Structures are given as structure tokens and as C-alpha cells.
Amino acid sequence: MFDQITIQLLMGQLLIGLINGSFYAMLALGLAIIFGLMHVVNFAHGAQYMLGAFAALILLNTFGVPYWWALVIAPVVVGALGIVMERVILKPIRELDHLYSLLATFATVLIIEGLMRLQFGASGLPYRSPLPGGVNLGFMFLPWYRAWVVGFSLIVCVAVWYLIEKTKLGSYLRAANERPEIVESFGINVPLMMSLTYGLGVGLAALGGVLAAPIYQVSPSMGSNLMIVIFAVVVIGGMGSIIGAILTGYLIGIVEGLTKVFYPEGSHLAIFVIMILALILRPQGLFSAAEKSR
């Protein structure tokens, strides 16, 4: 079996793993922010990722807005819709059990996906690559756009981690969740901070959708197909752990890619085996200690 594994196959699957890991990390980061700072299990995260991809497609086909502008406009628009959703749906049930927010966001998923199917159908729609071509590395052909996705997502993840963990704004966001009465005594609008936090997490999901549009087919179910893996990533890294979501996202993507080389049938299964082992051996998450030590 191993004598059939070539360097081209190995590096090709490693690239696919890095690309998938980029989306896993970005989506898990947004989910971890929302749960870690708001204690909301955002089941609508996949639908918001899908909305980002469709927003980019609509901007291009209807308004002629190129990809590079859609990369800015679509996350802002979907993030703003997320803020409206937080104010209208999640804010009234904020003091209730987490189960209520999970059910509310799950119902939102069904509504959003149903509306998108009615409007665009169930089959996928193409989005042309903004960076055609690539470079021949000798052992593999590297498309420019896929290299851009890996690099850009890493920059975004590091920038958001720095914002949350190392800046005064991030301190306010964390304090608004832990000691809202103290933060309000300084004249800070805590409900607005919570809404902006949710909007940031939703915007990250939408940004991932824009990045995914030229690689995958843009379809109403593209988010639902991904969310089960994203929840596994967040659980493995530690619920609410920012750095855990980023590192575990890339790690799971690479593990999935390499598993396809040696045992293709078990590549998807490997993710959940890791999740079960993590829950048994370290139920608080692999990186929760690092998060608490800041």
C-alpha cells in the first residue's frame, strides 16, 4: 500500500488539508468567540457562512462587484444581519438556559436555508476564481487562489486573536461577559458590546464563505455540511478557546488530508475519533489551559 504513495499525492492532500483547515479555523474561531464571550451555542454559524458565499455571488452577478470588494462588503453585510438577529432573537432569551439559544439558532438555520433553496434552488452555483493559474513546484501544481486562501485566513485568525487577547477592546469584550455590571459602571454599553461580538463572529463566518465561493459550489447546504466538523473542532480545542479554535482547525484539516492518503475511507471518521479521545482524556479541551493562563 505505502509503495503506491507518491510525493505528489502526499503534498496534494496536504494542500487540501491546509485549505480545509483554513476554513475550519476561521469558522471555529467565530464560533468560539460567540460561545466564549456570549455563552451562545450558535447553530446558525453554517448558514451565515453560506450567506457570505451567496452575498459574494449576488454582488458579482447582480451588481458587478468584483471578488476583492465582495471580500469586504459581504462580511460586513452578513455581520450586520447577525447583529439584527442577536437583537431580535437572542437578546430576549439571553438569561435563559443555553438550550434556548441553540433551538432558536437552529430554527433560524432552517428558515434561511429554506428561503435560499426557494430563491436559488438546491444545486450548487459556480463562482469564478479571482486568481487563475498557479505555480509548478516540481512535485505538484499550486493554484494561486488556494495559496492565497491559506495565507489570508492565517493572517485573519492571528489578527482576530490579537484583537481579542491583547487589545483594550478585547479586554472590554471579555469583561462585558464576565462582569457586565462593572463594565456598565464605566459608561460602556454592554448590550451593544454583546451585539458587536456576535456580529464579529458572524462576519468571520461570512468571510469564510466568500473565500470558499471560488473553490466549492455555492449552495444552500454548504454550511450545514461543514458545521458538524466545526463543532468537533471547537470541542477538541476547548469550548470558547480562541487559540484552541485556530490551532485545532488547521490541525484537523491536515489530519483529514493526510488520512485520505493512507486510509481514504476513514478520513472523515478520524475527526470524530479524535473528538471522542479528547472528550475522554481532556474534556475541557486541548488548549483550555493556555487560554486560562493569559
Q: What is the pLDDT of residue 293?
A: 45
Q: How far is CA 227 from CA 14, 43, 68, in A?
A: 22, 8, 26
pLDDT at residue 289 greater than cutoff 60: no
**Confidence (pTM):** 0.93
* Percentage of the chain modeled with pLDDT above 90: 63
Q: Find out whether 219 and 122 touch, Cβ atoms under 8 Å.
A: yes
Q: Is the dihedral of CA 89, 91, 97, 102 positive or negative?
A: positive
Averaged pLDDT, 268-274: 90
pLDDT digits (tens, 9 = 90+) for 21-48: 999 999 999 999 999 888 888 999 999 9
Tell me the per-residue pLDDT of 173-229, one tens digit each, with 9 for 90 and over: 877 777 777 777 777 888 888 898 999 999 999 999 999 999 998 999 999 878 999
291 phi-psi bin (left φ>0, alpha ψ -120 to 50, beta other):
alpha
pLDDT for residue 240 is more than 90: no
pLDDT of residue 290 exceeding 60:
no
pLDDT at 170 over 80: yes
| Widest Cα–Cα separation across the chain | 67
Q: For the residues 163-170, what does the mean pLDDT come to?
A: 88
Sign of CA dihedral 69, 135, 204, 61: positive
Q: How far apart are CA 279 and CA 127, in angstroms?
A: 39
- Over residues 39-92, the pLDDT tens digits come to 888 999 999 999 999 999 999 999 999 999 999 999 999 999 999 999 999 999
**Residue 155, C-alpha cell as written in the block:** 493572517
Q: Please check the confidence at residue 150 and state whether its pLDDT lies above 90.
A: yes
Over 60: is that where the pLDDT of 291 sits? no
* Residue 292 pLDDT greater than 70, yes or no: no
Q: Does position 141 have pLDDT exceeding 60, yes or no?
A: yes
Query: Cα–Cα distance between 145 and 132 in angstroms, integer?
Result: 7
What gap in Å lies between CA 186 and CA 169, rounded to an integer? 14
Q: Is 166 helix (H, G, I), strand (E, B) or coil?
A: helix
